[in-house]
């Protein structure tokens, strides 16, 4: 009960701040839950309403100003919701794009204490020099420092978490979960958007951001992925001076990518840089399945050699093999006007429930694809295409796919950066070699053989487990009964149902066995070993 009252009180306070800024935070068309209206009435007399209203500011910036006033966790909430136009609507998501994650820095004494507590000893034991903060955000701030290695002094960037930031976020995330439960219970139309899952996803994201060792690991992983790529690099991690609350990296000397005048004055080819930014992002997403999800201009620099250097790896996106194939096939289907194929991929991936008609969904794909034909490359946006695609989620009962929404949001940012460097950038020309490489690698003979090899390994494990599999036959009957009601699909829901009766279920293993045999046969046919 105490927790309910406390969360109600906190949410009402936030609601009043929104009201002071002239913000309607609940998307248009959704009713404000009675509990929240009652909470606002309860705390209104306390005095916050005496604060001056700020509705004279531009409408598009009101919500950003309100969230900045509410503090670090609300800034992070706003940044997260900016990626979820499917939840809050495109207009509100667009307004949130104005949100700047900038806060006053915390004191040098606190920074020193954190470094000494995390790394041990005195600050001077680790750094030859340590300057004041050069940037401060909701979760951490960055200092310029230097280290001496083998008698050579080198500049580094030291990122330090804000004091007590975890406690503040835990408290506010508890309030967000409370609000999500209210919405889930009292607004049936919003349940498809999974408000509780949205909050849980935000919690996971912030948990990752508040362990700087994980950010260091993300940088290290991307460095391995892009080792042979031209024109794009990431800072090097100083693992000796990195702990949970302290991250030390190479200091990046470079020109901000948004400073076109400085780039041109330094002799850089901005048109080539635009191509590099876009192709690098697509390569990371489609080839590696691991991409920087916050590549705004403030996180990109161009060094003296002309390489694009990314910083701030707190928000990363991942795509599985299925999502990458989905993306490649959708783009290919829309470009080639093969709308039937584009529709079938949605059903294959399990994104559209099987009770819908493939032909009707292909019609929706045509509504997205046809308007782009006849337009110039400069008029076409891949991010907009994905945004239109997600607009059909409600019509076709498609469940929210957070990883694809994050990809779309990231693509919007990357497109903006790339076209800022080269307004005439042809997105299709830029994307074609990356998509072609992916298709050849994953859908050609070698890709099929690789999948078959993975399947063959699974067969070997199944044969070893055969006695246990036979003992599980009774449990399989119930799982098969569940699956038969809605048909078998290669999607998350079907796989969960298959494994519901236990991880060693015979159905699960036999499904993998049959799948592996099928993939092996497909690969052998493709290579001419078996006659078609």
| DSSP code, position 380 | -
Query: Is the distance from CB of 391 to CB of 367 less than 8 angstroms?
Result: no
How far apart CA 344 and CA 321 sit, in angstroms, is 17
Taking alpha carbons only, the member of 290, 288, 291 closest to residue 277 is 291
Judge residue 120's burial from the number of C-beta atoms within 10 Å of its C-beta, 0-12 exposed, 13-18 middle, 19 or more buried: exposed
Q: Do residues 130 and 123 make contact, with C-beta atoms less than 8 angstroms apart?
A: yes
Please identify which of the residues 86, 101, 294, 312 carries the catalytic annotation. 294
By C-alpha distance, which of 332, 223, 287 is closest to 437?
287
Q: Which two tokens stand for residue 354?
A: 């099987």
> CB of 89 within 8 A of CB of 27?
yes
Distances (CA, A) of 81 to 76, 195, 266, 292, 400: 9, 11, 38, 17, 13
Is 294 considered catalytic here? yes
Query: For residue 529, how many other CB atoms are within 10 A of its CB?
Result: 10
Bridge partners of 279, per DSSP, are none
CA-based nearest residue to 266, from 256, 280, 277, 281: 256
Backbone angles phi, psi at 135, to 5 degrees: -160, 140
Helices 427-443 and 270-282, interaxial angle, to 10°? 30
Are the C-beta atoms of 232 and 226 separated by less than 8 Å? yes
What single-letter DSSP state applies at residue 188?
Answer: G
**Partners of 514 in the beta sheet?**
none
Q: How far apart are CA 468 and CA 449, in angstroms?
A: 29
Q: Is the dihedral of CA 410, 230, 422, 251 positive or negative?
A: positive
| CA 420 to chain centroid | 23
Contact 491, 349 (CB under 8 A): yes
User: Which residues carry out catalysis?
Assistant: 294
């Amino acid at each position: 009960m105490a927790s309910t009252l406390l969360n109600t009180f906190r949410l009402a306070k936030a609601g009043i701040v929104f009201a002071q800024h002239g913000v309607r935070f609940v998307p248009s068309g959704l009713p404000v839950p009675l509990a929240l209206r009652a909470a606002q009435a309860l705390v209104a007399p306390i005095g916050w309403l005496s604060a001056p209203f700020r509705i004279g500011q531009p409408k598009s910036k009101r919500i950003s100003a309100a969230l900045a006033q509410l503090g670090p966790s609300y800034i992070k909430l706003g940044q997260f919701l900016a990626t979820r136009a499917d939840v809050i609507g495109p207009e509100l998501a667009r307004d949130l794009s104005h949100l700047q994650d900038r806060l006053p820095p915390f004191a040098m004494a606190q920074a020193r204490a954190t470094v000494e507590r995390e790394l041990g000893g005195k600050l001077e034991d680790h750094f030859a020099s340590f300057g004041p903060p050069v940037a401060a955000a909701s979760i951490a701030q960055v200092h310029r420092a230097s280290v001496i290695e083998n008698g050579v002094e080198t500049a580094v960037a030291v990122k330090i978490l804000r004091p007590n930031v975890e406690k503040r976020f835990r408290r506010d995330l508890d309030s967000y979960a409370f609000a999500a439960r209210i919405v889930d219970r009292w607004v049936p139309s919003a349940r498809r958007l999974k408000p509780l899952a949205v909050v849980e996803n935000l919690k996971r994201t912030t948990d990752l951001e508040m362990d700087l060792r994980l950010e260091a690991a993300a940088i290290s992983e991307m460095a391995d992925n892009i080792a042979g790529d031209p024109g794009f690099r990431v800072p090097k991690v100083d693992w000796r001076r990195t702990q949970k609350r302290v991250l030390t990296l190479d200091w990046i000397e470079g020109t901000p990518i948004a400073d076109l005048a400085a780039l041109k004055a330094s002799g850089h080819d901005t048109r080539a840089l635009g191509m590099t930014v876009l192709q690098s992002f697509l390569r990371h997403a489609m080839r590696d399945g691991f991409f920087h999800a916050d590549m705004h201009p403030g996180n990109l620099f161009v060094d003296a050699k002309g390489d694009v250097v990314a910083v701030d790896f707190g928000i990363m996106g991942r795509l599985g093999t299925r999502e990458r194939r989905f993306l490649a096939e959708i783009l290919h289907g829309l470009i080639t006007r093969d709308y039937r194929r584009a529709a079938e991929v949605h059903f294959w991936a399990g994104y559209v429930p099987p009770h819908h008609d493939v032909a009707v969904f292909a019609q929706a794909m045509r509504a997205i694809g046809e308007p782009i034909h006849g337009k110039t490359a400069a008029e076409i946006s891949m991010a907009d295409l994905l945004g239109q695609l997600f607009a059909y989620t409600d019509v076709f009962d498609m469940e929210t796919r957070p990883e694809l929404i994050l990809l779309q949001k990231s693509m919007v940012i990357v497109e903006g950066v790339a076209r800022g460097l080269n307004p005439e950038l042809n997105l299709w020309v830029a994307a074609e070699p990356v998509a072609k490489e992916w298709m050849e690698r994953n859908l050609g003979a070698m890709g099929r053989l690789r999948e078959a090899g993975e399947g063959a390994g699974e067969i070997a494990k199944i044969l070893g487990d055969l006695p246990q599999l036979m003992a599980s036959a009774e449990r399989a009957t119930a799982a098969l009964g569940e699956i038969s009601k809605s048909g078998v699909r290669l999607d998350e829901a079907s796989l969960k149902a298959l494994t519901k009766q236990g991880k060693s279920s015979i159905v699960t293993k036999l499904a993998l066995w049959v799948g592996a045999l099928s993939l092996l046969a497909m690969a052998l046919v493709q290579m001419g070993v078996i006659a078609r």
